[in-house]
Amino acid sequence: MPIIHYIPDDVEIEVEAGTTILQASWQSNIPHTHVCGGNARCSTCRVMIIEGKDHCQPRNREEGLLARRLSFTPDIRLACQTQVTGDVTIRRLVLDQEDIDLVAQPEHGTREDHIGAERKVAILFSDIRNFTTFAEVVPAYDVIHILNRYFYEMDHLVQAYGGYVDNHIGDGIMALFGVEGEPDAALNAVQAGLAMLEAVERFRPYVQVMYPWDFQIGIGVHYGEVVIGTLGAINKKMTAIGDSVNFASRIESATKDTGVHFLISEDTYYEIKDKALEVERVRLRLKGKRGEHALYAVKQLRD
């Protein structure tokens, strides 16, 4: 039977031929990070094969895709996918207790929520127009007051439509819809965006009474795949990571160039097209993205 020798643990484990290195670690209670759950969706379980590369089965399709993406050398393998047929010596690339604690299951809540889970959600970004200029000429107290008043209204609207306020980024808001797999995430996000615009129309006279400033916002929504997980060591917070988040942010930025206050991606539009009224389609180049992208300005939804 094959023997796996772990470095720097200096532990040897006898396993059945065809066992993966990660399975061997599990069976022997050797701490071995595997953020995606051992599904070749991350590289946190990777190991270096010190001796016995010929005793490891060739990379399968899933491992090969990730290895090419991250430019792995032949001696770097994913423990979750690498099956051994003979004796090997490996070095774990997660070595200290801090790394192990980082992905350890929390006392409360699910492991999935802590370490990350792939989900399809609607991401909403909003931003106040010309806020930097406003903040430069208005006392700091007034700036904080206006922001707090604005966030109070917007955050409650996001929650009213089933969303989760992920973050306040300066004067911007990032919100997620469908984090727990709720249905109609894209529709809820679009409804929230339209409600936010209506609230701003009510808020503008309040601002204009005190300041010579036309309060306006831009909103962008995209519906796509992200990884949901908690980040941070002390003040842990759930957030979304992935290209879909960047895409939603780019869509919001495009509202500045088009003069349209609310734009959604094509993926979002396909989810809500039966409900959409007064739709305008535009094709734009987005900063940091290749080619042109179809975006939609939705001004109204069917009741």
Could you list the mean pLDDT of each consecutive 10-residue stretch along the chain, which spans 303 residues?
A: 89 93 91 82 87 94 88 89 95 65 45 61 96 87 88 96 94 95 94 96 88 91 90 75 94 90 95 86 81 88 80
Domain extents for the chain? 3-104, 112-301
List the one residue out of 254, 278, 85, 268 whose CA is nearest residue 186. 268
| Residues 248-262: tens digit of each pLDDT | 999 999 998 888 999
Percent pLDDT > 90 in the chain is 51
Tell which CATH architecture fits domain 112-301: 2-Layer Sandwich (3.30)
Is residue 70 classed exposed, middle or buried when 0-12, 13-18 and 19+ CB atoms within 10 A define those classes?
A: exposed
Instruction: Give the predicted TM-score (pTM) of the model.
Output: 0.71
In order of 131, 143, 169, 212, the CA distances from 137 in angstroms are 10, 10, 20, 11
Q: Select the CATH number that applies to the domain covering 3-104 from these four: 3.30.70.1520, 1.10.10.10, 3.10.20.30, 3.40.50.300.
A: 3.10.20.30
**CA-to-CA distance for 47 and 104, rounded, in angstroms?**
19
